[in-house]
Amino acid sequence: MRTLKPIHIGSVKLDTPVILAPMAGVTDMPFRRLVKKFGAGMVVSEMIASQAMIRECSKTMQMIQRSDDEGISVVQLAGSDPVVMGDAAKLNVDRGANIIDINFGCPVKKIVNGNAGSSLMRDEVHAAKILDAVVKAVNVPVTLKMRLGWNSENMNAPRLAAIAEECGVKMITVHGRTRCQFYGGQANWAAIHDVKDAVKIPVIANGDINSFESAALALELSGADGLMIGRGTLGRPWFINQVIEHMVNGQPAVSPSLDVIHATMTGHLESMLAHYGDYAGLRIARKHIGWYSKGLPNSSEFRAAVNNSADIQKVRLLIDDFFHSILDKAA
């Protein structure tokens, strides 16, 4: 099994290159802090719309809030106008971002129709203008996240990676699917190797890494310098740390006890309430509570009760009862 070594993202050293993927609606400050606390190498913000950033929309301002215990602060920007993206990047650096990541991967229609996200992979000239503008606008490393290409006939990730390196981009992450695949099928980790061969800067493999076996295979087939994990962390904020223990320190993976899962869910709920306020916090927390409880005994009844309650104190009690009843039955 290949082991992971520290990488340099321009001037930033990353000791353990296993990274939390940006996920809109998921990788907010409470989740990033939690995943980092468990021991992730680095965590990335949700995608921030550059236009909304420069207009300082209140929702966007909440999305870019960061905390020192997140470690290296990476803000991901989406957009299509080089000047606006450069300005948005600068604003984020002024607010403490240590790295700016650019989104060339989002497949969602609304984003693609605005000529942003994965749409930019179809226009290498315009893509280069964006990369050049952002690199020139800031004095911190700029990284790029993309897919293999628009569709299977146009897998131009290696060429675009070389263009990005030429523009001064310091790290490339590749989700091993094309835009037209959305999230279907299986990520093609071997195709990421062509990107690795095209550039000297670090390349990170992403897509469908949700077990130690898939982490090892993705690293092997892609030849990448590190891994990025998204959905594998849902309800498992400790998973990236387990991968690091396994692949960097050669330690056997320890699964968290029920007590740890209980405390993590409770702590995560409380930090979402503090971040969003009670009303929005509880509603956003429900999906995380669902992910944490998946596969545990009586979890569907528990989720239904949580989803039907708007009373925070009641939800706290439901969570405690859920875990106590599992422990009682196991005793």
Ligand X SMILES: Cc1cc2nc3c(=O)[nH]c(=O)nc-3n(C[C@H](O)[C@H](O)[C@H](O)COP(=O)(O)O)c2cc1C
Active site residues: 106
Binding mask 159-198 for ligand X (x = CB under 6 A): ----------------x-----------------------
Task: Give, as one character, the DSSP assignment of residue 256.
Answer: P
If binding is defined by CB under 6 A, does position 95 make contact with ligand X? no
Cβ at position 246, least distance to ligand X in Å: 16
Alpha carbon distance, N-terminus to C-terminus of the chain: 39
For ligand X, the binding residue among 79, 149, 158, 232 (CB under 6 A) is 232
- The C-alpha atoms of residue 108 and residue 238 are separated, in whole angstroms, by 28
Q: Are 228 and 176 in contact (CB under 8 A)?
A: no
Cβ at position 108, least distance to ligand X in Å: 9
| CA distances to 20, 88, 90 from 61, in Å | 21, 12, 14
* Residue in the shown chain whose Cβ atom is closest to ligand X: 230
If binding is defined by CB under 6 A, does position 74 make contact with ligand X? no
Residues linked to residue 173 through DSSP beta bridges, in sequence order: 145, 204
Show contacts with ligand X in window 142-161 (CB under 6 A). 145
Residues linked to residue 103 through DSSP beta bridges, in sequence order: 145
**Kind of pairing between the strands at 42-49 and 203-206:** unpaired
For ligand X, the binding residue among 30, 41, 86, 105 (CB under 6 A) is 105
User: 76 or 80, CB closer to ligand X?
Assistant: 76
Q: Are 201 and 171 in contact (CB under 8 A)?
A: yes
- The count of other CB atoms within 10 Å of the CB of residue 182 is 12
Residues linked to residue 147 through DSSP beta bridges, in sequence order: 175
User: 119 or 326, CB closer to ligand X?
Assistant: 119
If binding is defined by CB under 6 A, does position 46 make contact with ligand X? yes
Cβ at position 127, least distance to ligand X in Å: 15
Cβ at position 117, least distance to ligand X in Å: 8
For ligand X, the binding residue among 4, 24, 64, 161 (CB under 6 A) is 24
- 299-307 and 278-293 helices, crossing angle to 10°: 170
- The C-alpha atoms of residue 22 and residue 36 are separated, in whole angstroms, by 13
If binding is defined by CB under 6 A, does position 23 make contact with ligand X? yes
| CA distances to 19, 188, 265, 281 from 302, in Å | 31, 37, 13, 18
For ligand X, the binding residue among 82, 207, 237, 281 (CB under 6 A) is 207
- The C-alpha atoms of residue 88 and residue 255 are separated, in whole angstroms, by 40
Show contacts with ligand X in window 242-301 (CB under 6 A). none
Show contacts with ligand X in window 25-44 (CB under 6 A). 25-26
Only segment of 2-10, 24-32, 257-265, 312-320 that touches ligand X (CB under 6 A): 24-32
If binding is defined by CB under 6 A, does position 209 make contact with ligand X? yes
Site residues (CB under 6 A) for ligand X?
21-26, 46-47, 76, 103, 105-106, 145, 175, 206-209, 229-232
